[in-house]
Amino acid sequence: MGVYQSPVPNMDWIQAEFAKRDRTIADLTLRAQSAAQVTEFQTGVVDSTSRVLFDGDATVYPNALRWQYGYTPVAGDPVLLGRVNGEWIILSKLKSPATSMIEVVLPPASGWTSYDGEDGPSYTPGSSPADRFSPGVATKSSTGWVLAYGLYNKTTTTASGGVITTLPLGMRPAYPLQFNAVNNSTNATIQVNTDGTVTALSAIAAGYLSIGNIQFNPDITYATLALQGTWVAFGGAFQAPSIGRDSLGFLTVTGGAKSGSTAADLGLFAALAAGQRPSSASHTPVVTNGTSGVFSHIGSAVPSGATANELLWRSVWNSSNVHYQIDGAVWDDATLSLPWLTPHYVNGWVAYGASWAAPGYYKRADGVGALRGLYATGTIGSAMYVLPPGLRPSHQILRLTASNATFGRLDIHSDGSVIAGFGSSNAWFSADDVLFPTAA
């Protein structure tokens, strides 16, 4: 395992968490330490006395180990362990090696708290009822995907540059990344910096903030995209627009651009080479000029037709070309013909049709769930379909998405419900480019 570090959580946060839950201070301190002060990770198998045979060792570790609140060791469990102040602690049970994920709770920065909202207490690891929100959590898959989820709350406005939380070492990008985020009933924009800090790009209103749109892969190799027309790299600290492919055949783009033509909807942004092309067209919200309240998105074109093999700039909704950041868009390679499963629609929702992505869900070999598709005609605020057991998150995930040329909110509940949380209308609603950690 790699080495990860994270800042020490402040005592105000620890005390607030203790006040909200009936826990011993020892349990709570252990959770805070294991989330924020782990200096090394290892894996192993636990026995009936809480002793562990570390992977690669011939003999069982001599001391019985403590474990993180929310997980009780069962003999034979494969477990993830972390070293905290020189002491090994059992953090959680692992899934099979191919699907195991590292999970780290992200303590809120000063002024922020974990969100306790409409669905009850924010986090009780291992025992939370369905649909309760989680605090900020970062996971990393065996294929390198860093996927964040969870909610924070603040009673005052956060100015541009204000810190929300910090990702640990091993889960940080090589270049600054920018993402949209759900902020109450609209959007905010956030930046993930190379030191792991997650900061406000523009002012964030008081209330709740979801980090569920953060998804990137720092472990794969990226190649520069062939920009079209007058588009050029933004420069500075930002990566030139680039594309990477993971070991399971999923493509993702990242980087900043400027100066391109925004004269027409579906204007060309970049060409995609063979092996980079999507199986269907998609809609992905992106960040323009770091500004909240401004809608723009990138679209991957269908692999045939007049605009084949391109990334498309959808300028009709935002004519600015000062700084266009394309982080987080992801799709599967069309040549793989992956077995996406068609959902059973409910509440009047149907596939939008035409050349846009057919709604579907897929569980990757690394345990990451994937969603795609453009929906229409259903009831905003209702479930579009229900994911099967084994392809559900452990807690409710909130993501910002595209809905009829403006913002929408996509909710993925722990009972499998995939919900159009809010949107401008049901003319179309996107669930494209969604990756999330599954609970099993």
Strands 350-351 and 374-376 come out as antiparallel
Q: What is the dihedral of CA 430, 435, 439, 440, to 10 degrees?
A: 110
Distances (CA, A) of 25 to 85, 116, 298, 401: 18, 20, 47, 39
Sign of CA dihedral 210, 212, 218, 223: negative
Strands 87-93 and 137-140 come out as unpaired
Run of H or E residues at 32: helix 25-36
Which pLDDT score is estimated for 66?
Answer: 87
Q: Are 152 and 164 in contact, with CB atoms under 8 Å apart?
A: yes
Which pLDDT score is estimated for 300?
Answer: 59
Strand partners, 92: 80
Return per-residue pLDDT of the chain as tens, 440 residues. Answer: 333 333 344 444 444 443 443 333 334 334 444 444 666 677 788 898 989 988 767 788 999 998 875 678 888 888 878 887 788 888 777 665 556 788 888 889 999 998 854 443 343 444 344 446 778 899 999 899 999 999 999 999 999 999 999 998 889 999 999 999 999 988 899 999 999 999 999 899 999 999 999 999 999 999 999 998 888 999 999 999 999 999 999 999 999 999 877 666 667 788 888 888 887 777 778 888 877 555 555 665 544 443 445 676 554 445 567 788 889 989 898 888 888 999 999 999 999 987 777 899 999 989 999 999 999 999 999 999 999 988 999 888 999 998 887 889 999 998 999 999 888 889 999 999 999 999 86
Which pLDDT score is estimated for 2?
Answer: 32
Of 130, 178, 158, nearest to 412 (Cα)?
A: 130
Query: For the chain, where do the domains classified as CATH 2.60.40.1830 start and end?
Result: 335-437
Of 198, 170, 167, 177, nearest to 7 (Cα)?
A: 167
Distances (CA, A) of 300 to 88, 303, 330, 364: 46, 9, 9, 21
Q: Is the overall model pTM greater than 0.95, yes or no? A: no
Annotation: CATH topology of 335-437 = Immunoglobulin-like (2.60.40)
